[in-house]
Homo-oligomer: A and B are copies of this chain.
Amino acid sequence: MSLSKRASQLMNHPSAIVAGIIKCNNDPYDAQTNPEGFLNFGTAENTLMEDLLSKKLSSQIEIKSEHIQYSGMDVPALRETFSQFAMNHLNIEALKPENIVVQCGVSAICEALSFTLFDEGDAIMIATPYYNGFEHDFTKRFKCEFVKVDLSPTNNFQHSIEAFEQAYNQYPEPEKIKAVLICHPHNPTGEILSQEFMFSLLDFIQNKKLELISDEIYALSTHCKERHQSLYQLARERKLPAHLLYGMAKDFAIAGFKVGFFYSEDNELVEAMSSLCYFHPVASLTQLAVADLLSDEQFLHHYIELNQERLNKTKRDLIHRNDHLNFLPAEAGLFIVLDLSQWCESFEDEERYHQFILDELKINILKGRDLGLSKPGYFRVCFARPEDQIHTFSQRMQKLKRL
């Protein structure tokens, strides 16, 4: 028997990003053992905090009998801890623990949300450049569509309400648009949204009767000590239908732990999302480990500050070592956008640079076309890598000239 039609369709459209990752996995750079191997600057992964995290997470967890049974599928302590954590660190007031849904990663949550909230053919507005994985999570399995909002390179792709209005007005079936998906701080530009933009976006959402999906997974990965302003919180204060996404893969760099949080005050939606937990659960053991991590205020204080310092230092180091290249300013996140637009007149040009960087320089980065961009020449560089890798990256990039 062959695969189902839906599975065949899914398998026949693999992400363009996968090829680069496979090259990296098959022949990974290592300063000592494989200095000529591939550098992976394509995955949004923070390796700067492994020292603190490995130690913290190796602490012993006591497994009681309730944790091993079906009742263990839900560890209330984790939801209570997350509510407290969101208040203390994400600047979000009092989440109701019973409305917090924990699933095995934010991708799982996005997929469940795609199933739960959208019918086939419904549309979601999303700004480009965007995190490419959202296509997989939201559109591929359950067939809702993205309305791309093209941000403009002339102002470094900063979010603007005019771009949202234009995309809305140009969409042939605006009645199909149901929601706006925002990642804040933004992946891939690292923009921290201005308050002005956030307020005008909320007006827009209100006027058009849309819902907000606010992904704040990079809230604490800022390169400054500015306190995160939650778009979700602003929407909630205006009583707009809004839903929060957060996860442990970015600010806490434990992608391998696969823990994502969903919050909404729409009880019916929360109930539906919870019921899908049957397919997307997180092991009690992992929930206990994450609750332990998020409830340790002393650790958090030290960790968050040090992470921001290291991100900032690494970003500055990268820019400094690559002063023949243009980077867009980045205030947050694990990435920075490399601007080769002066050398790229077409996506064919972009593809040539991408291939050169991958095959000749042996560096995996993402190209703008995979970030949904309509203008060629921009690349996402994930820089949260060890010093020796930044060094090697910079040495190799010296060879990058006009092709």
Contact = CB atoms under 8 A, between A and B. Distances in A.
A282 B280 CA distance: 9
A119 B118 CA distance: 21
A72 interface: yes
A1 B70 contact: no
Contacts of A269: 3
23 contacts: A1-B178, A3-B116, A3-B268, A3-B269, A6-B142, A11-B275, A54-B67, A54-B68, A58-B61, A58-B63, A60-B60, A66-B256, A68-B257, A69-B253, A69-B255, A72-B255, A104-B282, A104-B283, A108-B279, A108-B280, A258-B284, A285-B289, A286-B286
Interface of A: 1-7, 10-11, 25, 43, 45, 47, 50, 53-54, 57-73, 104-105, 107-108, 111, 115-119, 122, 136, 141-142, 178-179, 211, 241, 249, 253-259, 268-269, 271-272, 275, 278-286, 289
Copy number of this protein in the oligomer? Answer: 2
Nearest to A116: B7
A272 B115 contact: no
Given A3-B269, A58-B63, A119-B4, A69 B279 contact: no
A64 B256 CA distance: 11
A45 B253 CA distance: 35
Given A50-B65, A178-B1, A256 B284 contact: yes
A384 to B, nearest CB: 11
A258 B50 CA distance: 26
A70 B50 CA distance: 13
A74 to B, nearest CB: 9
Contacts of A285: 57, 256-257, 283, 285-286, 289
